[in-house]
Amino acid sequence: MPKVLVSDKLSETAVQIFRDRGIEVDFMPDLGKDKEKLAGLIGQYDGLAIRSATKVTEKLLESADNLKVIGRAGIGVDNVDIPAASKKGVIVMNTPFGNSVTTAEHAIALMFAVARQLPEASTSTHAGKWEKNRFMGVELFNKTLGLIGAGNIGSIVADRALGLKMKVLAYDPFLSEERAQQLGVKKVELDDLLGRADFITMHVPLTDKTRNILSRENIAKTKKGVRIVNAARGGLIDEEALAEALQSGHVAGAALDVFATEPATDSPLFNLPNVVVTPHLGASTTEAQENVALQVAEQMSDYLLTGAVSNALNMPSVTAEEAKIMGPWIKLAGHLGGFIGQMTDEPIKSINVTYDGVVSEMNLNALNASVIAGVMKVSNPEVNMVSAPAIAKDRGIQLATTRQEAAGVYDGYIKVTVITDQRERSIAGTVFSDGKPRFIQIRGINVDAEIGAHMLYTRNKDVPGVIGALGSTLGELGVNIANFQLGRTSSGEDAIAILYLDEPMSDEALAALDKTGKFLQARALQFEV
């Protein structure tokens, strides 16, 4: 039974879902803050469900020997080292929509709060001061809002702002003109937005490109009297520079839900007039927390129980249905990669995969990942479908795929060709209606080979006496043959044999074959069937 750890404050709905799906779950909502203790326990778990307090670093992943999936109950995954997770073969999923309305509403609430100085007015009134003349605000009506980032949350903010009769500009290099028109916003360059917006709200992920996007230099380009709202990520704004711009009066107000260092217990922005701060509450509503907990638990359970992948950041999506239909093909893709990997001793330059017929309609990203994992596993048994593409890329291995309509006698097949400096090697396989994968072509020679855990591949000149030598040598050493397939290019030319054995070929058996002098090559192969 898979085992999941919940190490942050997720709604207990998640715990219930894991239990209902038959997954063992430990709920330790404060564990994420204790790095050492988490590192000591993580090795026991197949899944880790988190919010933002748990930091999944490369170091933590070193101890995560059984981990298969990390589920982020929320959107931002900047607390997870995704490249390190990918290399370790761990899928990272998030819940991209569950808290977007809630977070957009928080941004709008912060915009109102900073326009009317609501927190300070409230504190003063609670203190019995009745400072009616102190709190002069501004309207949102007819003002220009500049969105930095117009994805899910930015679009909802735009919709609400248009409802408030604001004009909305958006800076987002990935926003198409068509989508901007649909949203009713004007797509602009960043400098244009900075110079024209009365309010700026941020809705981008924290990446190397967006870090410090409101830098000192960019803050200086904003319109005098601008009000800035950040409910996305700390690190997007230079906090020191913002504090100075607030003190000089260039920026009239700021509202921040997120900080460069969290929990933020100290900041140059604390205690400045007209600065509204909240402790990363963007997603903190009952509705959003139920949504993300339910979604993350369902997604993680689906993956652990059925292999279905959704909303993963380091793996193509595969539905449960696809996982079922594609299962035998994914297995075949892994075996084809495994064959090539075990046959190839020199560095691989490229892997070309042809998908023919029915399989060409399937999710090729997942199949490619399985081929690459099969190839790579030979040199590193820890590699899986998640980590393989990244490792292949690191090693400079090129991947090319071709889809084609059914071109032969099979409903569909996969052919993998690997190119090295020395040679080109190829193998093709198919899945029969019994759901069992078969090798159907090796070195361009047709075969029909069932795939077993222990196999032997031999190559020889097509002359009499070789098959006899093979059978008798294995027989003398007590190696039982379950299936024996032969093929040749033409009479007297290249011939191959692929054997499915009941036990592994020992070095002794390989040496005995070599000693016969009849084989150009003999290689023992292993497959995870």
Ligand X SMILES: O=C(O)CCC(=O)C(=O)O
CA 449/CA 439 separation, integer angstroms: 5
Position 231 contacts ligand X (CB under 6 A): no
User: In the complex with ligand X, which residue's Cβ is closer, 98 or 338?
Assistant: 98
CA 452/CA 523 separation, integer angstroms: 14
Contact 232, 206 (CB under 8 A): yes
Measured from each CB, the residue nearest to ligand NAI is 151
Contacted by 314, from ligand X, ligand NAI, none: CB < 5 to 8 Å by type: none
Establish how many alpha carbons lie within 13 A of residue 388's alpha carbon, considering only the half-sphere containing its beta carbon: 28
Contacted by 100, from ligand X, ligand NAI, none: CB < 5 to 8 Å by type: ligand NAI
In the complex, least distance from residue 171 CB atom to ligand NAI, rounded to whole angstroms: 6
409: how many CB neighbours lie within 10 A of its CB? 9
240: how many CB neighbours lie within 10 A of its CB? 13
Binding site for ligand NAI (CB under 6 A): 74-76, 96, 99-100, 103, 148-154, 171-174, 203-206, 209-210, 231-233, 257-258, 280, 282-283
Quick one: tokens of 503? 């036990």
Q: Could you say which of 262, 403, 443, 488 is catalytic? A: 262
In the complex, least distance from residue 264 CB atom to ligand NAI, rounded to whole angstroms: 13
Contact 487, 496 (CB under 8 A): yes
Contacted by 150, from ligand X, ligand NAI, none: CB < 5 to 8 Å by type: ligand NAI
Interface mask toward ligand X for 38-77; x: CB under 6 A: -------------xx---------------------xxx-
Which helix (DSSP H) or strand (DSSP E) does residue 162 occupy?
helix 152-163
Identify whether 233 is a catalytic site residue: yes
Interface mask toward ligand X for 80-109; x: CB under 6 A: -------------------x----------
Which helix (DSSP H) or strand (DSSP E) does residue 84 occupy?
helix 82-88
Contacted by 209, from ligand NAI, ligand X, none: CB < 5 to 8 Å by type: ligand NAI
Position 11 contacts ligand X (CB under 6 A): no
- The count of residues interacting with ligand X (CB under 6 A) is 10
Contacted by 268, from ligand NAI, ligand X, none: CB < 5 to 8 Å by type: none
> Tokens 């994805």 label which residue?
151
User: In the complex with ligand NAI, which residue's Cβ is closer, 282 or 487?
Assistant: 282
Amino acid identity at 294: L
Position 311 contacts ligand X (CB under 6 A): no
In the complex, least distance from residue 10 CB atom to ligand X, rounded to whole angstroms: 9
CA 203/CA 101 separation, integer angstroms: 12
Contacted by 522, from ligand X, ligand NAI, none: CB < 5 to 8 Å by type: none
Angle at which helix 100-116 crosses helix 152-163, to 10 degrees, equals 50
The gap between the terminal CA atoms of the chain, to the nearest Å, is: 21
Q: In a 3-state reduction of DSSP, which class is residue 442?
A: strand
CA 337/CA 393 separation, integer angstroms: 16
Contacted by 51, from ligand NAI, ligand X, none: CB < 5 to 8 Å by type: ligand X
CA 291/CA 21 separation, integer angstroms: 17
In the complex, least distance from residue 85 CB atom to ligand NAI, rounded to whole angstroms: 17
Measured from each CB, the residue nearest to ligand X is 74
In the complex, least distance from residue 90 CB atom to ligand X, rounded to whole angstroms: 19
Q: Could you say which of 51, 233, 438, 454 is catalytic? A: 233
In the complex, least distance from residue 166 CB atom to ligand X, rounded to whole angstroms: 24
User: In the complex with ligand NAI, which residue's Cβ is closer, 234 or 374?
Assistant: 234
Q: In a 3-state reduction of DSSP, which class is residue 190?
A: helix
Q: Could you say which of 280, 335, 438, 454 is catalytic? A: 280
Q: In a 3-state reduction of DSSP, which class is residue 322?
A: helix
Contacted by 454, from ligand NAI, ligand X, none: CB < 5 to 8 Å by type: none
In the complex, least distance from residue 235 CB atom to ligand NAI, rounded to whole angstroms: 10
The CB-based long-range contact list for 380-386 (8 Å cut-off, 24+ gap) reads 382/88, 382/89, 383/89, 384/89, 385/89, 385/315, 385/330, 386/85, 386/86, 386/89, 386/90, 386/91, 386/314, 386/315
Identify whether 105 is a catalytic site residue: no
What is the b/e burial string over 306-334, where b = at least 16 CB atoms within 10 angstroms of the residue's CB? ebbbbbbbbbeebbeebbeebebbbbbbb
Position 203 contacts ligand X (CB under 6 A): no
Return the closest-CA partner of residue 115 out of 78, 154, 75, 164. 164
Identify whether 262 is a catalytic site residue: yes
Interacting positions 245-284 with ligand X (CB under 6 A): 280, 282-284
In the complex, least distance from residue 168 CB atom to ligand NAI, rounded to whole angstroms: 14
User: In the complex with ligand NAI, which residue's Cβ is closer, 126 or 209?
Assistant: 209
> In the complex, which residues of this chain contact ligand X (CB under 6 A)?
51-52, 74-76, 99, 280, 282-284
**Residues with catalytic function:** 233, 262, 280
